[in-house]
């Protein structure tokens, strides 16, 4: 969900690690990189110290889609590091419980109580459509692993009527055919956390759940209703075949596998929050979209990065003889 810190880039001496040969099928990523881009690493930076420490940029997609294109030097840096740090401790049951808790409406409240009736009815209708389509969206491989459509729908959308509208908006945004097909395989961040645990590495997290939740819960009610309405409009247009998403998950994966740091497509993975700014909006709605964008950019990128940067700097200063591997989202900088 997050980038590493611009603050760190100013306070620590970072060296791009040299490009390494990928072990994937040749040309599988169909890269069309400029000459200077072809020399870029695959999201690995070295912090000059002895032993060295590293920043590695992750991506929120199934690890199997990108693992073969991550250079050996990145994997070696992970294996050699004493301590591995993530944004959150994804293997801690408390983290999952706290993430769930922060998404819920106050006790006794339901979504039907807080949403305008027309938006609530459209939301319910869309979720009924998703539930109907989900068996058709699932892959034979998912079924072979024992995943069933009803189970998957309940795992993602269960208890949706008790969630805060902003989290329902994010849930709707992720209930697409492409996303459903990828369920059942750990995303890259979680896979690395599981590997670190398997290798009995010391692990840690630079953030608390509340620090990731509160900014989203801090949007005011009119902003959240606007965002949910725009998300539903987009999904309804997709269902009707009148809209095509300009940047898909496949585009995101391709650019990550190509080590393309300059692509704006990577920014669409920054916070899992859709971008609502577009030229077709009426002037007042465009102002609301810009206010949401400015607020989230300030809270989820600038403030967050500075906070994370200070914590990483403190860790490196406290343990000068340890090699750290920091695995944070590569989406924005």
What percent of the chain has a predicted confidence (pLDDT) above 70? 79
- Cβ(261)–Cβ(59) under 8 Å? no
pTM above 0.85, yes or no: no
Per-position DSSP letters for 222-279, written without gaps between them: HHHHHHHHHHHHHHHHHHHT----SS-HHHHHHHHHTT-TT-GGGGGGSSSPPP---T
Q: Inform me whether the pLDDT recorded for 25 exceeds 90.
A: no
- Cβ(227)–Cβ(171) under 8 Å? no
| Domain residue limits, the chain | 41-329
- Cβ(98)–Cβ(204) under 8 Å? no
Q: What is the pLDDT of residues 42-71, one digit of tens each?
A: 789 999 999 999 999 998 889 998 898 888
Alpha carbon distance 16, 27 (integer Å): 23
Alpha carbon distance 188, 92 (integer Å): 17
Q: What is the pLDDT of residues 225-280, one digit of tens each?
A: 999 999 999 899 888 877 666 567 777 888 888 877 555 444 544 445 566 766 67
Closest CA to 137 of 119, 153, 113, 157: 153
- Cβ(72)–Cβ(21) under 8 Å? yes
Sheet arrangement for strand 14-16: 14-16, 44-47, 53-58, 324-329, 83-86, 202-205
């Amino acid at each position: 969900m997050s980038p590493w810190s611009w603050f760190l880039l100013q306070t620590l001496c970072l060296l791009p690690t040299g490009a390494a040969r990928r072990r994937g099928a040749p040309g599988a990523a169909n890269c069309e990189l400029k000459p200077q881009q072809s020399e870029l690493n695959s999201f690995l930076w070295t912090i000059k110290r002895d032993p060295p420490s590293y920043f590695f940029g992750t991506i929120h997609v199934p690890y199997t889609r990108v693992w073969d294109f991550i250079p050996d030097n990145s994997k070696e840096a992970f294996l050699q590091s004493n301590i591995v740090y993530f944004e959150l401790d994804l293997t801690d049951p408390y983290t999952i419980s706290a993430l769930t808790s922060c998404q819920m409406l106050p006790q006794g409240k339901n979504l039907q109580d807080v949403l305008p009736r027309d938006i609530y009815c459209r939301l319910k209708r869309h979720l009924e459509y998703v539930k109907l389509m989900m068996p058709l969206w699932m892959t034979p491989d998912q079924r072979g692993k024992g995943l069933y459509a009803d189970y998957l729908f309940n795992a993602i959308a269960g208890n949706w009527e008790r969630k805060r509208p902003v989290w329902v908006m994010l849930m709707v945004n992720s209930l697409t055919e492409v996303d459903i097909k990828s369920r059942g395989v750990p995303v890259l961040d979680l896979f690395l956390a599981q590997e670190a645990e398997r290798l009995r590495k010391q692990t840690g997290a630079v953030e608390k759940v509340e620090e990731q939740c509160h900014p989203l819960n801090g949007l005011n009610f009119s902003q959240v209703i606007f965002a949910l309405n725009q998300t539903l409009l987009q999904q309804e247009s997709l269902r009707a075949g009148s809209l095509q998403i300009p940047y898909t998950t496949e585009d995101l994966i391709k650019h990550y596998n190509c080590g393309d740091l300059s692509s704006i497509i990577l920014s669409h993975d920054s916070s899992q929050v859709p971008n609502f700014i577009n030229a077709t909006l009426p002037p007042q709605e465009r102002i609301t979209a810009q206010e949401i964008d400015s607020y989230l950019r300030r809270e989820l990128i600038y403030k967050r990065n500075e906070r994370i940067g200070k914590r990483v700097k403190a860790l490196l200063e406290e343990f000068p003889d340890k090699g750290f591997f920091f695995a944070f989202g590569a989406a924005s900088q």
